[in-house]
Structure 1
Amino acid sequence: MALQEQKNNPLHGLTLEFIVKQLFFHYGWEEMGNLVKIDCFKNNPTLKSSLKFLRKTDWARKKVEKLYLNTFH
């Protein structure tokens, strides 16, 4: 049943690191900070610090995932 549910999930199989890297390559940190209003993209951003914040902050992760879907799908 879980496999059936994942079939329609466009994020299935994508890691958060992959998503953040793709957005960074496409937009850069500054534009990502403008599109998703979170400090980890605006103040001294790094991949490591962004992933740490996004992994523990559900609402922010959802915004980043939505930006990814809106950008690439």
Structure 2
Amino acid sequence: MEKPISNDPLHGVTLKKILEDLVAYYGFDTLGELINIKCFNDNPSIKSSLTFLRKTEWARKKVEELYIRTLPKL
């Protein structure tokens, strides 16, 4: 019996990969304009942003939604 294929576009994609792709595509400046959170606007880094996003569900959801909208461009 075969396993069904997931329809979730985030299936198997880590938060770190999502963030790295978004930063590579937009840069922290534009990312901070698109999602106005301190970890993108005040001394941003991948590490500090991951720490914040792992603890803050509403912010992580915004990043995931942006990633899904950006996927066709990546």
Q: What is the TM-score with the length of structure 1 in the denominator?
A: 0.91
The two structures, once aligned, show a CA RMSD in angstroms of 1.3
The structure whose RCO (Cα within 8 Å, separation 6+) is larger is 2
Q: Which has the larger radius of gyration?
A: 2
The within-5 A match list for 1:9-48 is 9-48=8-47
Unaligned runs of 5+ in 2: none
**Residue 47 of structure 1: how far off its partner (Å):** 0.4
Q: Percent identity?
A: 53
Q: What is the TM-score with the length of structure 2 in the denominator?
A: 0.89
Count of aligned positions: 70
- From the two aligned structures, give the one with the greater helix fraction: 1
Q: After the TM superposition, which parts of structure 1 deviate over 4 Å for at least 4 consecutive aligned residues?
A: none
